[in-house]
Structure formats: structure tokens, C-alpha cells
Amino acid sequence: MLKNLVKDLKPSSTLLINETSRKLEEQGKKIYKFGFGQSPFKVPEDIVKELKNNAHQNKYLPMQGLSELRNAVAKYTSNKKNYNYKSENVIIGPGSKELMFLLHVIFDGEIILPAPSWVSYAPQAILGRNKIQILQTKRENNWFPKAAEIEELILKDKNKNYLLFLNSPNNPSGQICENLEEISIVANKYNLIILSDEIYSELTFENNYKSISNFCPEKTIISTGLSKWCGAGGWRLGYFLIPENFLEIKNMINVLASETFSAVSAPIQYAAIKAYENDHSNYINKSRNILNAVGNYVYENLKSNKVLINKPQGGFYLMPEFLNKKFNSSSEMCDNILKDTGVALLPGSDFGFDQSRMLARLSFTDFDGQEFMNKIEDNQKIDNDCIANLAPKIIEGVDKLKKWSESI
């Protein structure tokens, strides 16, 4: 009854760990939800108010998206990227995940995925019937591929089309790609398109975020949305910015959109205009400040001669590597951690690593973000006492994880 293509697919591990954590909590167990990556902050009030004001909007909108929203997104992005994007470059979707899936379906070529990569890239490529090329990365290069490694792969058959997924700040590592210019040179030499997944770009801890589109805008499709910086994951609104030379790609995504989701929810689109027209710099800066402080606390208190870990640079993830030989796989290790400590993590194998490497993704968002925001001042230096008071489960969970790592 089922196609062979889908028989081996499993539910998204990020959503599955959230369900597992919820069920364990319902059984009365205390769980430290470090497995599921979701913004801890509420949607800014002006955007919520606009959603309420537009609840009556009940008509289908254009499949490419509401023109006023596309204009707002194009203007917002142009100001940040120093590149003239127009409303026609923008496609609005029900989350960037759906748009990525449609891109996989229409793309004719090979998909290049660095390991680690977000858990849904590979399953979507499989469903799109595209061959996947995995590029293993190293901690010393912030878990991103080197330009020479990308070029070496392409030179095996440079007549093919290639689509590289580049996610910076990265999920699961929390790292930023620092060799963008070198990668852009490779993109400009060959039939290489870059999907720049910038969903965490507003949550970079330093104010010098660079996109690959700053170096090769004509070869880059930008993917982002409301879920991470705006705390609106459940609203399901994302978008692509597609350069004019990829008109064929844009048009075909629109065709597939017309046969799948038709159009994004009208009230959500009207509300999202305010997300890009109004000034939310104070909200974003507070979010960054909190996440930076909490992430650094986890980093400083978890790193040891038993745990290798890079300092977080953006988003809300860390990727510790536990130096032990007790377990046969990272999945087995994470199951043991959950059983022994109540700390929920995702195994590195879910992100493209070999099972034998004891890597895990840790999301440091298990706290009440709204309370945290309300109780600190703008640009306040957040110390450990503040974190202990406003994010106690982070303190407790990290302590349990550290003791576990020292005991094995």
C-alpha cells in the first residue's frame, strides 16, 4: 500500500522529542526539555494585536503572498543586505519548511548537505527524489564545509546542477559560517545554487551578521520567517527571497504552491506586515542578550575534559560531544541520559553524523522567555544569579548533565 520511497521515513526527531518529553511529564517525571528547539519568547504585542484586528480576513490571498507583506519583506531585507530586492522576489509560504520541500521537488540535480544539518533537509531531498551528497565537517571550522571540499565534490561531475544548503547560525551547532566569501567564489564558478537558511540570523550574538547573499546574491535563495526571532513558530509563516535570474524556479514554486497549500492564512499575513514594518529592535536585542547569556552559561558549565563543545554564536543550540566509549551509538547515549537524568537531547546521528560519534544537540530554551524579558533592563548584563532566578531548569539540567558526563 505504501511507496518504497516513504517506508523508511520516520517522524521528524525534533517534533518527536517534544512529544516524548510531554508524555513523560504527564507521567509525573521532571523533564529538562533540551531537545526541542522553540523560541521561549512571546510574539511582540503589536503583531498579536494586528492578528486580532484581521481575524475577519477570510478570503484567499494571492498564492505568492499578500503584496503589502511582500513589499515589507523586500524593503526590510534590502536594508539589511544592501541589495535591491523587490516584492516580486518574495514568495510567502506556510513556514519556510514547506517552501524548502517544494524546492526539493522541482530541483533537478544533487543536494549537498553539510553534516551537521537540520533534520528535515535529508528527508525532503529523498521525497524530492534527489541524490544527496553529505559533506562531513570539523569542529575547528565551526562545523561548516570548506570551499575546497565543496569544489572537490562538484569537480567529480561539474556538468550537473548542485544545491547547497547552508544554515548560519546553524541548527544544531549554534555556530556561524566564517568562510562565506570563499564558498561564494565556488558558487560563481559552477552550476551551484545556495539555499541560505537564515531563520536564526536575527539571533546572532554579534551585530555583524553576514549572509552568503552579501557575496553572491545572484546565486543565493534566502529562506527565513517569523518562527525564531518573532517567537511565532506556531503561526507558520516563512518566505523565500529568490533572485531574478532564478525566475523559472520562482514560477514553478508558485505552480506547486497553487496545487498544495494554495495560500498562507490571510490573518497571519496581514499581521506579519507589522513584523517587518514596525521597529522591533528592542525586542530582538533583549532576546539576543538573554540567549547569549544562557547559552554561555551552558557552555562554561558543561565544557570539560569529558565534554567538547564550541561557544555558541547565535540561535539557541549547542552541540556537545561526550568523550566516552560506553555506548554503541549517540541514540543509545541520549536514551540513557534521558532515563538517568531527565535531560532530553537529540542524538548527533539525527543531523548527519555517524552513530559512533557521541554528539548531541542541546537547546537552551527551557525557561519562561516573557518573564525573563519583563524582569531585565535593556542591555542589562545578565549574571548567573539572574539565570538561576529566571531560568532554573537550565541550571538544574546542566548540573545533572555535567554530573552524568563525569560518572561515565
Q: Tell me, what's the pLDDT at 20?
A: 84
Sheet holding 220-225, edge to edge: 90-93, 238-241, 220-225, 192-197, 162-167, 110-115, 131-136
> Is pLDDT of 299 > 90?
yes
Tens-place pLDDT, residues 232-273: 999 999 999 999 999 999 999 999 999 999 999 999 999 999
Q: What is the mean pLDDT of the chain?
A: 95
74 neighbors 239 (Cβ within 8 angstroms): no
User: Residue 37 pLDDT > 80, yes or no?
Assistant: yes
Tell me the pLDDT tens digit for each residue of 119-146: 999 999 999 999 999 999 999 999 999 9
pLDDT bracket for residue 189 (50, 70, 90): very high
Q: Give the pLDDT confidence score for residue 286 in this predicted structure.
A: 96
Domains of the chain, by residue range, sit at 11-43+281-407, 57-277
pTM of the model: 0.94
Looking at the structure, give the CATH architecture of the domain made up of residues 11-43+281-407.
Answer: Alpha-Beta Complex (3.90)
Q: Which helix (H) or strand (E) holds 92?
A: strand 90-93
Cβ contact 77:233 at 8 Å: no
Q: Which residue has the higher pLDDT, 16 or 239?
A: 239
The mean pLDDT of 187-207, rounded to a whole number, is 96
- Considering the segment(s) 57-277 as one domain, its CATH architecture is 3-Layer(aba) Sandwich (3.40)
Read off the pLDDT band of 12 (50, 70, 90). Answer: confident
- Which of 290-294, 348-352, 376-380 reaches the highest mean pLDDT? 290-294
pLDDT tops 90 at residue 75: yes
For residues 4-22, give the mean pLDDT: 81
pLDDT at 408: 82
CA distance 221 to 373: 33
Q: What average pLDDT score do residues 159-169 get?
A: 97
- Residue 122 neighbours by CB under 8 Å, 6+ apart: 113, 132, 352
pLDDT digits (tens, 9 = 90+) for 105-118: 999 999 999 999 99
